[in-house]
Structure 1
């Protein structure tokens, strides 16, 4: 049995959706960030990074969303969540998800997680990062909208592990000061995702709105 550790509305939502897409047997454990559970010894024993998601498997614990999504696709190949039989196409999946992880998510984190990059006492630097978030995030999603979203799904006609990850990050656009209506393909992708049963089930389990 797989166990997904998550915080509601975090990037763990992408793996949560993918596990439902895959028809995987799994359970979930909520990590209450408001209560500081991510820093408690029992959770640090699971993930010493003190972050989510973490996926406990029979072989050990995996962290980092691109790795978890790739694992789900490869562990449950019948679900066809990635072109795992085509090295180039699978690398393109990893390319997209790595961009979300290393660039889009990092830009978003500048809004509330500035202490990852500068000391909390550097108030000018902290405020500068926050002010730039609407601009930096908008540029990232304009590129996704114009060049990287190839069809109704990220890869074109084929739904994949890229789609729940993109959906998860588009949920944050409003807080980042970006109008999703300026991104027509991203907006349509989000609307399409909301209709999927796997998305509805994950949202319901995390008790968060669509």
Structure 2
């Protein structure tokens, strides 16, 4: 049975949702990434992490998502078998990992981006992060015009990954509704029963 290590509200929400969509039994383990006991299991101290049987610890959200899509092909959450669709899925997963997620780093942990411990400097870092987040959100918003899903015309592993990071936008000064297509996508996924079950299990809303 797959074990998923998570911290509430992180990008671990994405593989959690996918496991709900797949419908196979799994074990959910709430951890604190900085906990020394968890770091014995996963020295990087990151979530999500996953163990599948004797796989050892696996990490990196996009890699875990692809692993689940390959392990459970009947769930049809990966590409549709064409080269172009495989590229599109990989492209958006890379964008989410390489552009969207890092845009939030200065917002969530501004102390890592300044050598000055003053609150003024930290707020300045956070202000800079808003521009980065706005840029990637605008790109997603434009792409999602007249679309219900990120890739093709069906749900894929890219959708819960996008949902998890869009949810973070509720903490920003700029309203998520200022990105109408992204907001519509977010609300659409919030109505999904698998998404609701995962969020309930994590104690988030």
Q: Normalization by structure 2: what TM-score?
A: 0.91
- Whether the aligned pair in 1 keeps the contact of 2:137 and 2:179 (CA below 8 Å) is yes
The answer to whether the aligner puts 1:94 opposite 2:107 as a matched pair is no
Which residue of structure 2 aligns with residue 17 of structure 1? 17
- Whether the aligned pair in 2 keeps the contact of 1:173 and 1:179 (CA below 8 Å) is yes
State the alpha-carbon separation in 1 of the partners of residues 148 and 23 from structure 2.
22
Q: Within 5 Å, which residues of 2 pair with 1:112-151? A: 112-119=108-115, 121=117, 126-147=122-143, 151=147
Query: Which stretch shows the higher mean deviation, 9-18 or 77-86?
Result: 77-86
State the alpha-carbon separation in 1 of the partners of residues 162 and 145 from structure 2.
10
Q: Specify the SS of the correspondent of 2:57.
A: strand
The alpha-carbon deviation at position 150 of structure 1 amounts to: 6.5
The alpha-carbon deviation at position 100 of structure 1 amounts to: 1.2
- Whether the aligned pair in 1 keeps the contact of 2:42 and 2:49 (CA below 8 Å) is yes
- Whether the aligned pair in 1 keeps the contact of 2:14 and 2:164 (CA below 8 Å) is yes
- Whether the aligned pair in 1 keeps the contact of 2:100 and 2:136 (CA below 8 Å) is yes
The answer to whether the aligner puts 1:53 opposite 2:25 as a matched pair is no
Unaligned runs of 5+ in 2: none
Q: Within 5 Å, which residues of 2 pair with 1:59-70? A: 59-70=55-66
What is the number of equivalent residue pairs in this alignment?
204
The answer to whether the aligner puts 1:27 opposite 2:27 as a matched pair is yes
Unaligned runs of 5+ in 1: 33-37
- RMSD of aligned C-alpha atoms? 1.9
Query: Which stretch shows the higher mean deviation, 115-124 or 168-177?
Result: 115-124
Instruction: State which of 58, 63, 78 in structure 1 corresponds to 2:74.
Output: 78
- Whether the aligned pair in 1 keeps the contact of 2:149 and 2:159 (CA below 8 Å) is yes
State the alpha-carbon separation in 2 of the partners of residues 89 and 43 from structure 1.
37
Tell me the alpha carbon deviations over residues 161-209 of structure 1, each in whole angstroms, 9 at most, x when there is no partner. Answer: 1110111111111213231111111111111101111101101111111
Please state which structure has a larger fraction of its residues in helix. Answer: 2
Query: Which stretch shows the higher mean deviation, 54-63 or 110-119?
Result: 110-119
The answer to whether the aligner puts 1:104 opposite 2:100 as a matched pair is yes
- Whether the aligned pair in 2 keeps the contact of 1:46 and 1:54 (CA below 8 Å) is no
- Whether the aligned pair in 1 keeps the contact of 2:114 and 2:125 (CA below 8 Å) is no
State the alpha-carbon separation in 2 of the partners of residues 199 and 149 from structure 1.
22
The alpha-carbon deviation at position 125 of structure 1 amounts to: 5.3
- Whether the aligned pair in 2 keeps the contact of 1:193 and 1:199 (CA below 8 Å) is yes
Q: Specify the SS of the correspondent of 1:10.
A: coil
State the alpha-carbon separation in 1 of the partners of residues 28 and 105 from structure 2.
24
